[in-house]
Amino acid sequence: MEPDLIDPRTMSAEVYRKLDELSKSHENDRNRRKEQCKQALETYTYLATWGLLRLKAEEIAMKKEGWKDIVRLFFQILQDPKISNITNLSESEGLATLSNQTNMPAETYLGLTGLALKLAREFAFWAAAVYVDVKEDAEKE
């Protein structure tokens, strides 16, 4: 039996749908949407530079809700059964889940990081379409 493969359309469609819902839920708050756009565009760079564990830790320290919105959404999508099927990433115990070397061996963490990088690229791609009205402002900051 072949291993289950992730259809890239699944991830792409999920990111678009969730970003669109998030954007619309704050449609009257331009500044928050601008922060969401900025974070969605920067998630890949942050993740590639600092890693998955650090991104999760940053979620706790983030002050701007627009930024937190995106990181929370990122981990919610990453833990989806159609994406990674690794639970407890988006909850408060996500940091413990990622740092537990017994329950998440290095091979699993590295594989999850690869998926996370792909997911982060989707965030940046769809941010341009979902936040088209604030994207230029977000890129200037």
Q: Rounded to a whole number, what is the distance in angstroms from the first to the last CA of the chain? A: 50
Residue 68 contacts residue 37 (beta carbons within 8 Å):
no
43-64 pLDDT, tens digit per residue, is: 999 999 999 999 999 888 888 7
CA–CA dist 91, 79 (Å, integer): 10
> Is 1 a member of any domain?
no
> Is 118 a member of any domain?
yes
> Is 39 a member of any domain?
yes
Find the domain containing 116 and state its range: 9-17+30-140
> Is 50 a member of any domain?
yes
> Is 74 a member of any domain?
yes
Place of tokens 């993740």: 47
DSSP code at position 101: T
> Is 25 a member of any domain?
no
Alpha carbon 136 to its chain centroid, in Å, reads 21
Predicted pLDDT at 49: 96
Q: Looking at residue 76, which CATH number applies to its domain?
A: 1.10.520
The pTM assigned to this predicted structure is 0.90
69-115 pLDDT, tens digit per residue, is: 999 999 999 999 888 889 899 888 899 999 988 888 999 999 999 99
- Total domains in the chain come to 1
Place of tokens 């002050």: 63
Length of the chain: 141
